[in-house]
Structures are given as C-alpha cells and as structure tokens.
Structure 1
Amino acid sequence: MDTRVLRYFVAVAERLSFTAAARDLYVSQPALSRQIRQLEADLGVELFVRTGREVRLTAAGGELLPSARKALDDWRDAVRVVRSVAAAEANVLRVGFVVSGGGSVARRARAAFAEQRPDVTVEPKRCDWGAEPDALRQGLVDVAFVWLPADTDGLRAHVVATEARYVALARDHPLTARESVGIADLRDEPLMWTRKAPKEWVDWWAVNPRPDGGEPVWGPENDNVDEMLEHVATGAAVCFGPESMAAYYAHPDLAWRPVTDIEPLRIAIAWVSETVNPVVHAFVAATVRLSSAT
C-alpha cells in the first residue's frame, strides 16, 4: 500500500477534520477526501463517520490508527537506515542546515573535519525552515545543525552556539535610525512567516505571544529565505533571523538591527540516537571541541 495514503489517514484521524488535515498536508480537501474514500473502498470498511461538520473514527478506524502509525514509523526507519548505509558506504557525510546553519562554528567544524578525515566527502544539505530534525529522521542527512527549540525526539543534540536574534527592516524604515530595538518597537509591524515549519517553531521565532500577551501582526508567507528577504526589502513586512543570517545575507535594500530583549537562538549539533557510523561521531566530536574552545 502507498504509505502516502496511510499518512493521509493518520492526519485526518488525529485532527478529526478533513479541512485541518488538508491544510497541514498541503493538499486540497477534495483530493484528500478522494484518497480516504479509495482507502475505505480498498479495505471494504468505513473508517470515518461524517455527519455534517463532525468527523469521528469508526471502530475499524480506531483499530487501524495505531497500526498505521507503526507502519509509517517502520517505513521511515527503514528508509533512514538504507539512505544512511548508502552514504556511509560511499564515504559521504551529509550535513544538514537551515539558511546560515551553525554559523561560524559549523564552517570551522567542516574545515577541521576535512583536515582530520580527507577521505570523507562532506556534503552540506540545505533544509526547509525547521526541517532539520525530520531530515535526520528520514535519513536525508547524517548530522545537522538544528535551530532550537525543535522536536528532537529520537535524536541526540548538543548545543554548540548561541546567537542574538536580529530584525531585518527595509533600508528606509524609521527604526533603522536606531542601533538596536526592543520587541515592543515591532508591535505593529507585519511579520513574515511560513507554513513550511512546525507551528511551535514559527511561534518562537515570531515571539508569539508577545510579552504584553498580544499576537504579532502576520504579514506575507514565505517558503525560503530569499522570498522572505525580498518581501522585507520592499517594505511589506519585517522578519527575524540570527546574527549569522544578518552577517551572511547583506542586501542593499535591507538593514539588520539586534532585538535586545528576546532570548537568543541556540544552535545544536544533532544526530540520530541509534547511529553507529563512526564518521558521524567523529564530526560531532570535532564540532563540540571547537564550540568549547570559543
């Protein structure tokens, strides 16, 4: 059976809403409904009771749910192991990161590791917003620089750096006259956000709720850093990023200012708990040594 259909079933079963599941899966509701109807036809049973706006699991659906979750977990683990073994066999270490990743620590760690293990090819792998932990669990990368907070279930993580958070503003924004800003200064500013990342990740970066209990003014959505900064450069919104992003993404129409009264970003080196690949452990050790020396 296509694991995608099981993933669709689990999404609906956990939310008891086709609308919410379709939104989180990035598919249309009619397409999702068709897939669930086809699954019910293939099994010869009804999995959901649909009465008006209410959706409930049938007894059969309730019985299928834990088995479907286990099947998805087993398949994810099998895929991760196969990908990791193939990379190890090719003497390749895939290092995941998002945008500016682990900052200077990451770059120095890759350089030091290349000197230590010239026989290993280090391949940087850019992840979507907040997707580093899932990339590890899916075997798309062997080790990753993860922006915390994040769901590190099934992973091991060691914090190797902290960075102040900055706000990006259009060059002609009035706040650029200041050397730094506070979160209250940004109360009425539309804020860039993304559906790509988990909601908890988005809320932390958005400082939601704000110290006064309010919610940010949500601005345009984005799928990647380039889209985000283009919106900011036109004055459509502001965005937050770590200090390394402010240094790396210089732009003639942007200005970055530190936000002095919000907690900094913590960056961790993370890997799958069960990994036995000595190359992974060697890279982690090199990164931790460098972070301790700074």
Structure 2
Amino acid sequence: MDVHTRRLRHFMALAETLHFTRAAEKLYVSQQGLSRSITELEHDVGVPLFTRTTRAVELTDAGTAFLRAARQALAALDSGVEDARRAHSKMSGVLRIGFFAASALELTPLIISEFRAHHPSVSPRIESYDLTDPSCGLRSGETDVAFLRLPIDLTDLNTEVLFTEPLVVGMTTSHPLAAQSSVCLSDLQDQVISAPSTDDARWRAFWTLRDLGVDEDSLPRIGRETATMDEELDNVAAGLTLSVSVSSMNRFARRASLVYRMLEQVPGSELCIGWRGRPTPLVEAFVAVAQKVRNEHADLVARIESGDSD
C-alpha cells in the first residue's frame, strides 16, 4: 500500500475535529475534496476509518488504531525533513577543488557558480596543477575533488564523467600537416610529439598515443618532456614538436602561429569529476551540482563533444 501523505494529513485533521466543514477550513480545501480524499484513504487501507451520519462523524476502532500510526509516521517524516534542512543549512567549510588547464571548459564557471548559489556557507578553493600531477592534488591529499582527464593511475579513484572531447594535434601554421583538415595516426609516424613530465604511466601513455595497442614503429617519436601547458606550446611554436591535445585548445590556448587538426580514429579524452574513497557530504554536493549543470546544458556538452571550436 502506498498512501499519499496528503491523505494522512486530511485524515488527521478530520480525526481531530470530527467535523468535515471545520477540517476542510483548517486544511484550505473544499469539503467535497476532503470527503473524496478520506474515501480514497479508506479504500487504500481497506477498512472504514469513520462512521458518518447526518448528525455526527466518529472514528471507528480501526480509525483510532490508524490514527496512532498516522501520527507517528507523519511525525517521523516531518522530523526527517527538518533534519535534512538543518544538515543542508549547516553545510559549511572549505572545499578544495583541483583544477588543470581549462578543466571542464565552459562548464567550469557554471558549476562553480551553481555550487556557490546552493551552498553559500561553503568556500570553494581552486588549486591549480600542471602536467606533472594529472591527479590535480588527489594523490597527495591536497584536494578533496578535482576536474580530471582520464585515464589516471590512482587507487580508490571514483569519477563522474562530464563529457568526452576529441583529440587534436597542435602544430605550426607552416607545418606540412597544417594543410590537411584532419590527421590520422599514419600521418604522425615520422613526427615528434611532446610528452608530459609525469610519473603517471597511464596518463603519459594516453597523451603520447602509447595506449592504442599499435606497433611502436608506427607511432610518432617522443621528443621533449614538458611540465606545463605553456612550455608544451612554446615547443610546438618553435617547431620542435607536435602536441597531442584536445579540441578546446583552439578556444582556451589560441596562438596565432599554431593550428589544431582533428586526430581521426582515436578515442577522445574523458573529462570527469574525481575524488578518492568515500565522498564527504561536500564532495557529494559538488558532484551533484556538476551532474545537474551538465544535464541542464546538453547543447553545450554536445558542442564540446563534437569538437566545435566556435
């Protein structure tokens, strides 16, 4: 049996007044609506809860027993609601958020703004990281939650993927491959690409295309290791290397001397919210907000996943 709480409150009002008109006035409903609600409740319970005559309304024995249970149920529900509201209002403190490059792109300010609006007593603290720490502080415990690019070699890592972004290859405008609208793996065989300077082998393998399961001889050679995005772009601009990156680089790290070409037939980069172990209430709240923002901006996510640079 699934009894609506509205019917329980109608029942209690009538049980306390034993008068349809006064109970209806107390509840701000019509007398006909109250009568219908009581009849539906009796149908749900399966027994008469009141005796009705033209002169009086009385509880039946079953109604008296049901009244005790209804009071307990509604009291427990009301108490739970108040507990939840108190817990929400008391949610405060500092949430340390790991941040890398453009992180969630156009979604980032939307997520932070929405989180602050819903949890004004919480102070989000952005911690910025470079290519040396793809976990954005989660590995060391410096952050509570982070915007991450998968894959990452980290135990107890939990993630909520926000979108998957196409890979691109960055190069100078004068590079021979710049004349193509896109490139494939075979185009890169004799090229040199930069590598992130990190101890995370899985992350390094992804960004150097070493996790594709193809012969090493068919892959581009690895050139200089770089610790920051600016250092990587400087090497590309100098013509020393190419860069494997994501399509949003053309929006967030535009340089007049560089172009980005879509890398065909290669899995994209998953951008996620990540945390380690069991989430704290603050982390749960942040993840919930990120999910909400992602779902509410489906058109924006679709443009990101298509690689649209406009």
Distance of 1:228 and 1:254 partners within structure 2: 12
Distance of 1:148 and 1:210 partners within structure 2: 14
Distance of 1:130 and 1:158 partners within structure 2: 22
- Counterpart of 1:199 (choices 189, 198, 201) is 201
Q: How does 1:100-179 map to 2 (within 5 A)?
A: 100-129=102-131, 131-133=133-135, 135-179=137-181
Deviates more, 1:266-275 or 1:232-241: 266-275
Q: Percent identity?
A: 27
- Judged with a 3 Å threshold, the aligned counterparts in structure 2 of structure 1 residues 197 and 107 are, in CA distance, closer, same or farther, namely farther
Distance of 1:263 and 1:234 partners within structure 2: 28
Q: Is residue 192 of structure 2 the alignment partner of residue 190 of structure 1? A: yes
Distance of 1:283 and 1:235 partners within structure 2: 41
TM-score by length of 1: 0.64
- Judged with a 3 Å threshold, the aligned counterparts in structure 2 of structure 1 residues 134 and 224 are, in CA distance, closer, same or farther, namely closer
Q: Is residue 276 of structure 2 the alignment partner of residue 263 of structure 1? A: no
Counterpart residue number, 2:86: none
- Judged with a 3 Å threshold, the aligned counterparts in structure 2 of structure 1 residues 110 and 101 are, in CA distance, closer, same or farther, namely same
Deviates more, 1:95-104 or 1:257-266: 95-104
- Counterpart of 2:215 (choices 213, 216, 232) is 213
Counterpart residue number, 2:75: none
* Cα deviation code 1:17-75 (max 9, x no counterpart): xxxxxxxxxxxxxxxxxxxxxxxxxxxxxxxxxxxxxxxxxxxxxxxxxxxxxxxxxxx
Counterpart residue number, 1:288: 291
- Amino acid across the alignment from 1:189: Q
- Amino acid across the alignment from 1:292: N
Question: Post-superposition shift, 1:133?
Answer: 3.0
CA root-mean-square deviation: 2.2
Question: Post-superposition shift, 1:152?
Answer: 3.8
* Cα deviation code 1:219-264 (max 9, x no counterpart): 1121110100000001111011112233200011111111121100
Distance of 2:163 and 2:156 partners within structure 1: 21
Distance of 2:153 and 2:211 partners within structure 1: 20
Residues 96 and 132 in structure 1, CA contact (< 8 A), matched pair in contact too:
no
- Amino acid across the alignment from 2:224: P
Whichever of the two has the greater Rg, that structure is: 2
Distance of 2:92 and 2:289 partners within structure 1: 21
Counterpart residue number, 2:251: 247
Q: Is residue 246 of structure 2 the alignment partner of residue 226 of structure 1? A: no
Counterpart residue number, 1:96: 98
Question: Post-superposition shift, 1:275?
Answer: 3.6
Question: Post-superposition shift, 1:130?
Answer: 6.1
Q: Which runs of 5+ in 2 are unaligned?
A: 1-89, 299-310
List structure 1 segments (4+ residues) > 6 angstroms apart after TM superposition. none
Name the count of aligned residue pairs. Answer: 206
Q: Which runs of 5+ in 1 are unaligned?
A: 1-87
* Cα deviation code 1:187-235 (max 9, x no counterpart): 1111101332412211111111666512431111211101000000011
Question: Post-superposition shift, 1:89?
Answer: 10
Secondary structure of the 1:100 match is coil
Distance of 1:216 and 1:96 partners within structure 2: 31
- Amino acid across the alignment from 2:155: D
Residues 92 and 121 in structure 2, CA contact (< 8 A), matched pair in contact too:
no
